[in-house]
Amino acid sequence: MQSKKDSEQRIKKIIEILKKTYPNAHCELNFENPLQLLVATILSARCTDKQVNIVTEQLFKKYKTAANYANANLEEFEKDIKRIGMYKTKARAIQSACKKVVERFNGEVPRTMEELTSLDGVGRKTANVVLGNAFGINAGIVVDTHVVRLSQRLGLTKEKDPEKIEADLMRLVPKDQWTMFSHWIIWHGRRRCYARNPDCENCEIKELCPSAFEFCKIAKPKNGKK
């Protein structure tokens, strides 16, 4: 089992390589302000960013303030996001969250983890997305399905619960890189370390990955090298 110091050194190397590999890594949800990012992130649960961006292109033209969402006719709002999975649940969550934004925060999206997670439909993942990308605040690390998968494959955690995974990563990753770390990992998960048959042969960090070639269809080299 690696010591904390060894793990920190390994993650430092992982970060250096991913930073060079994905120099333009960023949040792939389209947004122009914190409210738009909050709405888009709630919509993105179990849905691709590409699909969310298609819906929000028109949605953000129609609803410009938290009050617009809060006072919207629910059935009409549901129709506006109908192509998104679980659209009825998400419509209610967004409307309820925006009502609290109006009532408690004067219509402005709050800037703390505690305040954001007090909103309906907002957990640590969504709050971290908003804080890190809309406000530049490193309050935690976004743990989505890609981060769960890669952090386990890379041996950075043995946990399965997202909040416990986040806690493990926060102990290893320098705080000033928390937001970007999730971007680099997510981009690598989408472009190389797929859930099924990851591209281990061409993986930029295979030398640092204890699971290299374990999940892909290409056999591990006979000489043991990854």
Task: Render pLDDT for 29-72 as a digit per residue (tens, 0 to 9).
Answer: 999 999 999 999 999 999 999 999 999 999 999 999 999 999 99
What is the span of the domain harbouring residue 100?
34-134
Q: Cβ contacts of residue 224 below 8 Å, gap of 6+?
A: none
Residue 68 belongs to a domain: yes
Nearest Cα residue to 152 out of 168, 141, 138, 140: 168
Residue 214 belongs to a domain: no
Helices 145-153, 162-172: crossing angle, 10 deg rounding: 60
CATH code of the domain covering residue 196: 1.10.1670.10
**Other C-beta atoms lying within 10 Å of the C-beta of residue 114:** 9
Query: Does 127 lie in the same domain as 64?
Result: yes
Q: What is the mean pLDDT of the chain?
A: 93
Question: In this predicted structure, what is the pLDDT of residue 7?
Answer: 77
What single-letter DSSP state applies at residue 202?
Answer: G
Question: In this predicted structure, what is the pLDDT of residue 4?
Answer: 67
Query: How far is Cα of residue 2 from the mean position of the Cα atoms in its chain?
Result: 27
Residue 40 belongs to a domain: yes
Query: Does 155 lie in the same domain as 71?
Result: no
Domain termination site, one of 112, 134, 156? 134
Say if residues 95 and 141 touch (Cβ distance below 8 Å). no
Reported as a single tens digit per residue, the pLDDT across 108-136 is 999 999 999 999 989 999 999 999 999 99
Q: What is the pTM of this model?
A: 0.91
The three-point CA angle 11-13-14 to 5° equals 60
| Catalytic choice (12, 99, 100, 144) | 144
220 is catalytic: no
Measured distance CA(195)–CA(133) in Å, rounded: 25
Overall domain count for the chain: 2
6 is catalytic: no
Query: Does 181 lie in the same domain as 103?
Result: no
| Catalytic choice (80, 90, 125, 206) | 125
Residue 221: pLDDT band with limits 50, 70, 90: low
